[in-house]
Amino acid sequence: MKRTSRRLADGREIVYFDSDAAPDRTAEDARDLPPQEPASEMRRDPLTGEWVAIAAHRQSRTYKPPAGSCPLCPSTPERPTEVPEPDYEVAVFENQFPSFAQGIAVGESTVPGMPMVPSAPASGRCEVVCFTSDHDSSFGALSPERVRGVVDAWADRTTALGELPGVEQVFCFENRGEEIGVTLHHPHGQIYGYPFVTPRTEKMLRTAEEYLQRHGRHVMGDVLEAERASGERVIIDSEHWTAFVPAAARWPVEVNVVPRRQVPDIAALTDAERDDFANVYLDVLGRLDGLYDRPLPYIAAWHQAPVNTGRDLSWLRLEVFSVLRSADKLKYLAGSESGMAVWINDVTPEQIADRLR
């Protein structure tokens, strides 16, 4: 893999990940952009202890542009974009409208008149990952070799963001489809470097620790063993990965893609595990699109170990889920899910696994 780091006109970093035969990336950003002035803030909810990011500047971000105005397509002489090159394989750049960013003024305080609500700069980093230069493609249409390039990019960025001051967790994810809320249709994902450990990760680490103390084994290891022995919810079982519908699935369509070996993050995967993942994940995505005979809207979320804590308790996994409960019906998060975080699924995991197989 060839890695090239460049700068955009406003100082943001862009990193290209290419096969060795690709041309050198030397194009300059021809746009006249003002310097970045991130001003994101975060406040801690005094009732839950959870941090909430407040990034009012994101209201002006690009919203559903026509294909001819896509900011993620390669640049042309007539129309410069976020990617200065005339073509690329994988490109990763700092988000122009970040929820978390470097360079924010340091200092902690409280919300005026609310001493029980701490506030702090939302220091971190947000990046955009362009999976391909082809606007009309998708992740599932990539070749296994190109998927491997994306995996290598995720691994590189996981390590790089984890080394930034203040970053406590790195989250790689993809949102696909308007039903999910996607506003740019070019195949892309994002990476967040959070300045705290996310609430869901904290809860999973507590659960893993309690299970380890009671049973002397990792809960995910036991889940994998039981799922593979049963086979009822397993979709794909390869040399290094198992894809299955979790027994307590929350979403009408939900698949976990889990390595057999306990590793904390993408960067810890071997070459063989990365190659195998490319084939397994493409198989999963093909089955998901075949479920309702239409491109499935989904969120693909990598659960990785935090940077500085809980790494021995973490087990890397990719969670792919969809809000589509039938070909033409969405699952809306109503009172129980949104208000109480108590999920109610309208289909059994076994039914979905059977259909995906």
Q: What's the total number of domains in the chain? A: 2
Report the alpha-carbon distance of residue 133 to residue 73 in Å, rounded: 6
Question: Smallest Cα–Cα separation from 269: which of 255, 280, 285?
Answer: 280
For the ranges 21-25, 57-61, 234-238, the lowest mean pLDDT is seen at 57-61
pLDDT at 61: 57
- Interval 24-51: pLDDT, tens: 999 999 999 988 877 789 999 999 999 9
CA 286 – CA 44 distance, rounded (Å) = 40
State the greatest distance between any 2 C-alpha atoms of the chain, in Å, as a whole number: 64
Do residues 209 and 180 both lie within one domain?
no
**CATH code: domain of residue 66:** 3.30.428.10
Output the pTM of the full model: 0.95
Domain-ending residue, one of 171, 196, 221: 196
- Of the candidates 135, 185, 186, 188, the residue annotated as catalytic is 188
**Whether residue 215 lies in the annotated active site:** no
Q: Are residues 45 and 77 in the same domain?
A: yes
List, for residues 133-182, the tens digit of each pLDDT value.
999 999 999 999 999 999 999 999 999 999 999 999 999 999 999 999 89
Classify 273 as helix, strand or coil. helix
In the chain, the percentage of residues whose pLDDT exceeds 70 is 97
Reported as a single tens digit per residue, the pLDDT across 201-222 is 999 999 999 999 999 999 999 9
How many other C-beta atoms are found inside a 10 Å radius of the C-beta of residue 337?
15
Strands 329-330 vs 324-326: parallel, antiparallel or unpaired = antiparallel
Q: Which residues span the domain enclosing 188? A: 2-196
The last residue of one of the domains, among 146, 176, 196, is 196
